Structure 1
Amino acid sequence: MLTKIPKQFYFFLAAIFILNLIQSSFTQLIFDEAYYWYYSQDMAWGYFDHPPMVALLVKISSFFFNGELGVRFMSCVLSAINIILLWLMIDNPKKNDYIKHFFVLVFSMTLLNAYGFFTLPDTPLLFFTSCFLLTYKYFIKKPTAGLAILLGIFMAALMYSKYHAVLVIFFVLLSNLKLTTNKYAWLAVIIALCCYAPHFYWLYENDFVSIKYHLFERPNGAYRFEKYTLGFLVNLVAIFGLTFPFIYKALFKTKGNDLFSKALIYLTYGVLIFFFVSSFNRRVQTQWIIIVCIPLVVIAFNYMLQNKQALTWIYRLGLINTVLILYLRMGLAHQPLLFNFHYESHGNKEWAKAIEEEVGNIPVIFENSYRNAPMYSFYTDATPTFSLNNFMYRKNQYSIDGSEEQIRGKDVAYISQYDKNPTFTYEKEDGGLYKGKYIANFQSYRKLSCIIEDTPITLNSEKSIDLKIYNPYPEAIDLNKLKFAVTYMDNYKTPVETLKMTPKPKQTTVTTLKQQDTTNFIFQLPKTKKENIGYFRVVISENGLLYGLNGQAIPVN
């Protein structure tokens, strides 16, 4: 199959692959990449925010290279193979005469271009979407056990990449409901479930923390048309740049005359409609809709081969896109090219080294920053680092792994935006300010869990509420070291007011929280005059730190 691809195709492919390798080597990490690099330092079947495929890519990359390329190498490899897979999905015999047009189409898609070197969960999601679709293309022609097994493996790989990969599987199935009566299709489902079983077990062992976060705990706000729905519509343009009118025209003009074309159309419309509806509830991030780039490459290129006007205009506008993208890519590595616009790939190594020079080799704790903690660790080789999350932030991987244990009892540098009397400061290139101080014998207990089972609860009620506090630590914790409060939140779980309260142990002799045990308390909600209160959370401050995220958000009447 691969031998039928013309040499010219491989020349273009090699040029893009080399460009991505160079870009990867000379562009500093963005914050999400540093966070996924942190994942890879402790390989597991799952992580707080995402399944583990992105961590696996980083781990494999690190076997070949150090530094930034040691994070991104596999992304470069997968993106090159992905282009081959896209080419193989196109059956038109005229395609070999328009190789340069194909590469302009692919390279001019902004996010598809960016994920050619960035290592993010969408990188494997794009690759395995192509693997899944190409396998499905052959499966519907002649189902076999071998193709079914391959299809099942790719479905599992999709889900190991990102949870909303379920949309790919669902909309392809919706395009061909006869699959529900196909024994080989059921074999594919069984294989996928077996391959995905380790992640199911990880979710169970970790109280389904990832599912709870994505469904119930992600930050949100009141609906604003310009931020949510209009923002989604702008994203539809942004992912294709100047070629967008012709890309969407190709979609509108394409008919599902065969099962594969029908699958591509269902997948594209399905994802777009799903996230359009979602835009009335929350802000849709640009990368969430990037899946549509895969079917739309095939749809648009087939349309170009049939329509000379589309061929000409997509090629011309795609070249303009390409020039702009190349300029922006150079700016990612070298800030002055972006007219002093500061992007998150600029200056991270510099601020990390500056803080290291100040604090030496002691552990560094960043308050409310799962972004800064791994970035500092990556560019200084410093371990351990830690993100201490409080009630004004959100939980993340640092909330569930063993990183807190590595810094407890040690002398640390503590960096917080809330510190009014810092010992040292460092101003970043973008104007941000790091403020730090030194803490001896640091002690935190962020994994203390506050459990309330009777919900919902009436606001400003005199009723006593049962509270269970679970101490997962291997030592008892003196209650005198702890302060308790209730954080009231609005309907979007944004903190509004935090009021102190003192829970009473049900057993009057209790002075500690026993190790790896649950202690029972009762308390009353402190009264508040604030309006629009939708939730409350019981929170704990230990040793003078800001209150943590110890309890779930509980609805109030």
Structure 2
Amino acid sequence: MQKLPKLFIYLLGIIFVINLIQSYFTDLIFDEAYYWHYAQNMAWGYFDHPPMVAFLVKLSSFFFEGELGVRFMSCLLSIGTLIFIWLVIDNPKKKDYVLHFFVLTFSMTLLNAYGFFTLPDTPLLFFTAVFLYVYKKFITAPSVVLAIILGLVMSALIYSKYHAVLVIIFILLSNIKLVLNKYAWLAVFVALLGYLPHFLWLYENDFVSIKYHLFERPNRAYEFNDYTVGFFLNLLALFGFTFFWVYKALWKTKGTDAFNRALLFLTYGTILFFFISSFNRRIQTQWIIVISISLAIIAFNYMLENENAKKWIYRMGLVNIVLLVFVRFILVFEEISPLHYESHGNKEWAASISDRVGDTPVVFENSYRNAPMYAFYSGNTSFSLNNVMYRRNQYSIDDSESKVQHKRVLYVSQYLSKGDIAVDLPKQKKGFGVYMDNFESFRKLRAILDESEISLKNDSPIELKIYNPYDFDIAINKLKYSVVYHTQYKRPEEIIGITPILKNPDLTVLKAKDTLYYSFTLPTFKMENPGYFKVAISENGLQPGMNGDNIKLVN
């Protein structure tokens, strides 16, 4: 491995210390709190993501408490990302431009932010840089050892985020001759073997993550400005004021060798993939973040050979850094912030509730964000009760529900117009909390239909199965049923109560691990042109849950 220049090590150390300080003084953001919740129950998979982010949080918690106990490993990985980007660049001139390298990379907005935030993109960036480093060595001199390492890195990539499959696919497409390389096949075998535990987890959990991301996620009608124009704005936002010269470097770079082709395929492939996707849904900036790695390499190589690019990327990079440093201060000090950000006031918010309710568990309606944030800062039990107007999440599949069953809880909702106590909610929302002395919910009940689509004109009875996955019996009279009609974009819009006919009317209890058999007819709807429906179950007067899958309605 190359020896790192002293200036490189000094600047790396400074950035590491800055990120540690930032991590310590910045309240968690909501996604970080959610991933902290993941780490309280380690598993080979989670509802929204593979397990790498939870693993990082768990590792961090062994070294520190509080926010640093969530972010410490991210600070380490971000340093590792910079090291591997540097090592991949083989231009001998680079040692004379260490400062330029740091200005370029530190000025990249999300590469900067993920220097301390713990999000799935943090390990994604690190393992993308590692993958490129190992791949460069592999194509130069393939061997069994490098194939095994490459396979393990590919596995770690997809353990970080499902989007990582694009990194692997585009780089492999850049060198199609690898299909004839026995070492490449060994790498693929090792990657699949390493990923087997997550495959098994997906199988045991009915492929819940895949189903959500591909089939259940709600959408809305295409909007050119928000979707496609927004995508191009995200491309600019990744690099701030250096964007012109970074993309010029991309345009000027030619695939003169296998590694350069890999960088170009990764960058152009990712951009093209999400450009096409932008005609279907709104693209989030972090979805395209992997091009920060390939473009950091491309842009720095271009800087080393082009004086004009070197001068302007350095100048504009410094402007970016000044702005990003100001934003970092804003994350900590709300008083200098022009707006309320999600890292502001979370400790105080949690204390404002826990000071009044003590250790009484708090159930938040429709908020996988508020529940873990409250638990993190109060140290008390919380749960997100998700109804059919929201979406499923980790609280839908883990054991959080069992921790509040048959206990006195404070039920908090922004939709209540009155209650026992008024509650300030994050993002400057207001809500109320209502005490429930014997809280009981059955959100894991499953409503199963054999059909995947049904005609809008159907007036025949539809068979309905209700499966009880719990290890206890449930009184049937505690359950009420609804049909929820959704738009063509899978957004719930109209809830209509139904009274399905029980096949065995003598039954009064749904036994543990058992199934009830009903029939029902679709109720008349008022909304225009529904595209889907699902069966929802309400228990003990709570709002209907997300118990059934979306069933397509056809004319």
TM range (shorter): over 0.9
Alignment-derived partner of residue 94 in structure 1: 93
Alignment-derived partner of residue 346 in structure 1: 344
Partner-residue secondary structure (3-state), 2:270: helix
- Alpha-carbon offset, residue 249 of structure 1: 0.2
Partner-residue secondary structure (3-state), 2:163: helix
Give matches, 1:400-415, under 5 Å.
Answer: 400-415=397-412
Measured against aligned partners, the alpha-carbon deviations of 1:386-435 in whole angstroms (never above 9, x if no partner) come to: 10000100000000011111111111011011212211113357531131
Amino acid at match of 2:522: L
Query: How far, CA to CA, are the matches of 2:373 and 2:229 in structure 1?
Result: 33
- Alpha-carbon offset, residue 475 of structure 1: 2.0
Partner-residue secondary structure (3-state), 1:507: coil
CA contact (8 A) 2:396 2:443 kept: yes
> Is it true that 1:513 corresponds to 2:533 in the alignment?
no
Query: How far, CA to CA, are the matches of 1:508 and 1:502 in structure 2?
Result: 13
Alignment-derived partner of residue 227 in structure 2: 228
Partner-residue secondary structure (3-state), 1:220: coil
Give matches, 1:200-279, under 5 Å.
Answer: 200-279=199-278
Amino acid at match of 1:407: V
- Alpha-carbon offset, residue 255 of structure 1: 0.3
Partner-residue secondary structure (3-state), 1:486: strand
> Is it true that 1:165 corresponds to 2:160 in the alignment?
no
Give matches, 1:53-68, under 5 Å.
Answer: 53-68=52-67
Partner-residue secondary structure (3-state), 1:556: strand
The alpha-carbon distance between structure 1 residues 409 and 528, as it changes in their structure 2 partners (threshold 3 A), is same
Alignment-derived partner of residue 378 in structure 2: 380
Give matches, 1:277-296, under 5 Å.
Answer: 277-296=276-295
Alignment-derived partner of residue 366 in structure 1: 364
Query: How far, CA to CA, are the matches of 1:183 and 1:338 in structure 2?
Result: 56
> Is it true that 1:389 corresponds to 2:402 in the alignment?
no
Query: How far, CA to CA, are the matches of 2:545 and 2:435 in structure 1?
Result: 20
1:497 to 476, 489, 494: 494
Query: How far, CA to CA, are the matches of 1:495 and 1:291 in structure 2?
Result: 33
Alignment-derived partner of residue 112 in structure 1: 111
> Is it true that 1:478 corresponds to 2:450 in the alignment?
no
Alignment-derived partner of residue 450 in structure 2: 453
- Alpha-carbon offset, residue 550 of structure 1: 0.6
Query: How far, CA to CA, are the matches of 1:456 and 1:29 in structure 2?
Result: 42
2:421 to 421, 424, 440: 424
Query: How far, CA to CA, are the matches of 2:93 and 2:378 in structure 1?
Result: 53
The alpha-carbon distance between structure 1 residues 334 and 242, as it changes in their structure 2 partners (threshold 3 A), is same
CA contact (8 A) 2:536 2:547 kept: yes
Query: How far, CA to CA, are the matches of 2:139 and 2:429 in structure 1?
Result: 55
> Is it true that 1:529 corresponds to 2:526 in the alignment?
yes
Partner-residue secondary structure (3-state), 2:410: strand
| Deviates further, 219-228 or 278-287 | 219-228
- Alpha-carbon offset, residue 91 of structure 1: 0.7
CA contact (8 A) 1:483 1:540 kept: yes
| Deviates further, 468-477 or 106-115 | 468-477
Partner-residue secondary structure (3-state), 2:455: coil
> Is it true that 1:143 corresponds to 2:142 in the alignment?
yes
Query: How far, CA to CA, are the matches of 2:424 and 2:53 in structure 1?
Result: 32
- Alpha-carbon offset, residue 240 of structure 1: 0.3
1:437 to 434, 439, 442: 434
Alignment-derived partner of residue 464 in structure 1: 461
- Alpha-carbon offset, residue 508 of structure 1: 2.3
Measured against aligned partners, the alpha-carbon deviations of 1:280-306 in whole angstroms (never above 9, x if no partner) come to: 000000000000000100000000011
Measured against aligned partners, the alpha-carbon deviations of 1:266-324 in whole angstroms (never above 9, x if no partner) come to: 00000000000000000000000000000100000000011000000000000000000
Measured against aligned partners, the alpha-carbon deviations of 1:504-557 in whole angstroms (never above 9, x if no partner) come to: 111221222122111111001111132120001101110010010011010112
The alpha-carbon distance between structure 1 residues 181 and 71, as it changes in their structure 2 partners (threshold 3 A), is same
CA contact (8 A) 2:476 2:508 kept: yes
Query: How far, CA to CA, are the matches of 2:163 and 2:25 in structure 1?
Result: 31
Query: How far, CA to CA, are the matches of 1:131 and 1:276 in structure 2?
Result: 26
Amino acid at match of 2:241: L
Query: How far, CA to CA, are the matches of 1:545 and 1:29 in structure 2?
Result: 31
Relative to the length of structure 2, the TM-score reads 0.99
- Alpha-carbon offset, residue 455 of structure 1: 3.5
Partner-residue secondary structure (3-state), 1:446: coil
- Alpha-carbon offset, residue 166 of structure 1: 0.3
Measured against aligned partners, the alpha-carbon deviations of 1:77-103 in whole angstroms (never above 9, x if no partner) come to: 010111110000111111111110000
Query: How far, CA to CA, are the matches of 1:287 and 1:24 in structure 2?
Result: 20
> Is it true that 1:303 corresponds to 2:298 in the alignment?
no
Partner-residue secondary structure (3-state), 1:305: helix
CA contact (8 A) 1:351 1:426 kept: no
Query: How far, CA to CA, are the matches of 1:266 and 1:199 in structure 2?
Result: 28
Amino acid at match of 2:279: F
Alignment-derived partner of residue 329 in structure 1: 328
Query: How far, CA to CA, are the matches of 1:303 and 1:404 in structure 2?
Result: 54
Runs of 4+ in 1 over 2 A off after TM superposition: 426-431
The alpha-carbon distance between structure 1 residues 499 and 261, as it changes in their structure 2 partners (threshold 3 A), is same
Partner-residue secondary structure (3-state), 1:120: coil
Query: How far, CA to CA, are the matches of 2:481 and 2:457 in structure 1?
Result: 18
RMSD: 0.9
CA contact (8 A) 1:255 1:262 kept: yes
| Deviates further, 329-338 or 259-268 | 329-338
- Alpha-carbon offset, residue 219 of structure 1: 2.5
**Structure 1 residues without counterparts, runs of 5 or longer:** none
Relative to the length of structure 1, the TM-score reads 0.98
Partner-residue secondary structure (3-state), 2:280: coil
Amino acid at match of 1:537: K
Partner-residue secondary structure (3-state), 2:524: coil
| Deviates further, 218-227 or 95-104 | 218-227
Measured against aligned partners, the alpha-carbon deviations of 1:129-160 in whole angstroms (never above 9, x if no partner) come to: 01111000000000010100000000000000
Partner-residue secondary structure (3-state), 2:27: coil
Alignment-derived partner of residue 552 in structure 1: 549
Query: How far, CA to CA, are the matches of 1:464 and 1:187 in structure 2?
Result: 53
CA contact (8 A) 2:387 2:544 kept: yes
Query: How far, CA to CA, are the matches of 1:460 and 1:49 in structure 2?
Result: 35
The alpha-carbon distance between structure 1 residues 428 and 462, as it changes in their structure 2 partners (threshold 3 A), is closer
**Structure 2 residues without counterparts, runs of 5 or longer:** none
Amino acid at match of 2:199: F
Query: How far, CA to CA, are the matches of 2:68 and 2:237 in structure 1?
Result: 27
Alignment-derived partner of residue 14 in structure 1: 13
Partner-residue secondary structure (3-state), 1:103: helix
CA contact (8 A) 1:460 1:525 kept: no
Query: How far, CA to CA, are the matches of 1:464 and 1:426 in structure 2?
Result: 45
Aligned length: 554
